[in-house]
Amino acid sequence: MSGVFVSCALSALLISVALSDQPHHHHHHHQESELSFQKLSSPNADFAFALYKKLNAKATAGENIFFSPLSISTALSALSTGVRGKTHSQLFSSLGYSIFNQTQVNEVYKHLLHKLGQNLKNEQLDIGNALALRSDFIPLEKFLRDVKHYYSGDIFSVDLTKPDAAVAEINTYIANKTHDKIKDMVKELEPDMVMMLINYVYFRGLWKNPFSRHKTNSAEFHVDKNTTVQVDMMSMHDDFKVYRDADNHTTIIILPYESKTSMMIVLPDEEKMQEVEGSINKDYVRHWCNSVSDNYVELFLPRFSISAEASLANTLKEMGITDVFDHNGDFSGVSEEVRLKVSKVSHKATLSVTELGTEAAAATTIEMVYLSAILSPSIEINRPFLLFILENCTENLLFMGKINNPTVM
């Protein structure tokens, strides 16, 4: 059977007019330079883990965490094309881009989005940006041109004299781009909104080693010492890339898709989740990727669908991005007529892991079960785990999160 993994995430920045003095101007001229799209994967991964730790600190006990680091970094990078001066330096510093200039970062995202958009036969990965503009607001032409050219940006206007229709138009755009996985993300628009910057990521892939639906059975998942829930547990005997990291109290298993992408599951030992997630960073992930080896195991993995959303403004402020939210933020690259500030940063992500497919492949899987079902070791994902969706070619973290309870939608 064909196992299907569907994941999509969306990040939106909402920029509203703030009180203004006379605008001031900064002009930056950078040498054109092309940078390999891998060059930002390291700072983006650092930003992702720093953001995860902030979100985790705010999460309630047992809450699932799931987001697209790439979506958030891309949205903030698109925003950076319109900020100047100290505001720009602060944003780049927090993203880990201080050694690069704006032209270099723009070129990286242009090549990265093009590379990621080259969908393979059994994979769909859509990523892009959009600007929803207040109908009476006209940004600088260079800002619009940069968002279009470097960040695959769509640009459309909304009429804020008809707020309900404007909300519906933005939500329809988001739903279409995420194949109806993210609906009604925008609840209302502030009266002084001038622009919303939208980033979306949608991913759908087929498992390289599919699960058989009729081998899915009800099983226990231990949320914590005192909480057990029933889940639909998929199972399969097959060769998987596995690594037992005894020093860090965790087991790693990588499930490849029929494409350039894979899912890494990090299963901490019992009572060790806090220790593992407290120290995890990009170097651990790289070490685990380099350390896995093929092992014939019986894997038990829950079938689940979750959704997570967060307002990120306060979190980003804690990470050092403050000026864009302030009345003194320098958005003179967006408009020289009015002073702007970011009023909201919202992110929503959904994740669905299932085992859909055909009978023919199921028969092959059943035959494999009888080969050495008794002899093969088993890995049972029956307690909270971390997961990462990795794009192998560009070394980017598409999605990451912690599944505390697969039954919580």
d(CA 405, CA 308): 12
Burial class of residue 95 in the structure, from the number of CB atoms within 10 Å of its CB (0-12 exposed, 13-18 middle, 19+ buried): buried
pLDDT in tens, the chain (409 residues): 444 554 444 344 444 433 233 344 444 434 333 447 678 999 999 999 999 999 999 999 889 998 889 989 999 999 999 999 999 999 999 999 999 999 999 999 999 998 888 876 777 788 889 998 989 889 999 999 999 999 999 999 999 899 999 999 999 998 898 888 888 888 888 888 888 888 888 888 788 888 888 899 999 999 999 999 999 999 999 899 999 999 999 999 998 888 788 889 999 999 999 999 999 999 999 999 999 999 999 999 998 888 888 888 899 999 999 999 888 889 999 998 888 888 888 888 888 887 632 121 111 122 222 233 334 578 899 999 999 988 876 678 888 999 999 998 7
Calculate the CA 286 to chain-centre distance. Answer: 18
Return the CATH superfamily for domain 206-303+355-403. Alpha-1-antitrypsin, domain 1 (2.30.39.10)
100 neighbors 337 (Cβ within 8 angstroms) = no
39 neighbors 108 (Cβ within 8 angstroms) = yes
d(CA 189, CA 163): 7
Q: Which residues pair with 298 in a beta bridge?
A: 237, 378
CATH of domain 7-205+306-351: 3.30.497.10
Backbone angles phi, psi at 125, to 5 degrees: -130, 105
∠ CA 126-127-132, nearest 5°, is: 120
d(CA 313, CA 328): 16
334 neighbors 139 (Cβ within 8 angstroms) = yes
Residues 6+ apart with CB under 8 A from 311: 344, 345, 346
d(CA 359, CA 237): 17
Q: Reduced to 3 states, what is the DSSP secondary structure of residue 370?
A: helix
Q: Where do the CATH 3.30.497.10 domains begin and end in the chain?
A: 7-205+306-351
Write out the H or E segment, with its range, that includes residue 70.
helix 69-80
Q: Where do the CATH 2.30.39.10 domains begin and end in the chain?
A: 206-303+355-403
d(CA 328, CA 221): 50
